[in-house]
Amino acid sequence: MSFLILVRHGQSIWNLEKRFTGWVDIGLTEKGKSEAEKSGFLIKNKNITIEYYYSSLQLRANNTLEIIKSVLNDKKDFIKAWQLNERHYGILTGLNKTEMSEKLGKKKIHEFRRSWNIKPDALSKESPYHPINIDTYKDLPEEIIPDTESLEDTYERVFKYFKDEIEEKLINKNVLISAHGNSIRALCKYLFKLDNNQISSLEIPTGNPLVIEFDKSLKILNCKYLDVERSKDLLIF
């Protein structure tokens, strides 16, 4: 038996401001820090020993994981991977979701946010929000840095990294991943065999650990959110 714990970072400043964040490196709000701390205590109460920790390159996911590890009193290092980053929202990056819904229509914004293979227009490389202009990504080869992404694009990078670096560890080890709404949705699509319509309906709450239990053949035995009051429909269990 092994466990995979997926945690979407706590509320970020741009979550609060209802802005498309994507690859911009934004910190947590005080509420987000509290959500991360509560996540830590919920995990601690399960008495699951975590052998491996993973996060994206992004501050909000890293800070969430650092808070969780502090609650667990676990000083192990964690692995940062750009492949676990949030989806890149292209030209929408930094814009207010409510204002853009009023400007472009709710249907169009929903299409950009939740469709499987439709992506917003590319973000200009001159924008301060483009990853090539953000210090966090200064060591990444420019050719792998996106200008925009669909959910399908996000899935492809998350899925490949999970298959190559993480999945085999789950045969007999426990893993915690602190990541983002869309990178976790991508993982859930693979793990729960969701189709392209189901993944569009899947909501991932901030700062609420999703615990997935596997047998030795990596068949899912059970899964649940630890903060029951803020659980979302997993569509499959």
Catalytic residues: 9, 86
Burial 4-35 (b: 16+ CB within 10 A, else e): bbbbbbbbbebbeeebbbbbbbbebbeebbeb
- Residue 162 CA to residue 195 CA, distance in Å, equals 18
What is the C-alpha to C-alpha distance for residues 112 and 104, in angstroms, rounded to an integer?
Answer: 11
What are the DSSP E strand ranges found in 152-206? Answer: 175-179
Q: Angle at Cα 158 formed by Cα 41 and Cα 138, nearest 5°?
A: 90
223 close to 210: Cβ distance less than 8 angstroms = yes
Kindly give the pairing relationship between strand 79-80 and strand 52-55.
parallel
d(CA 237, CA 224): 8
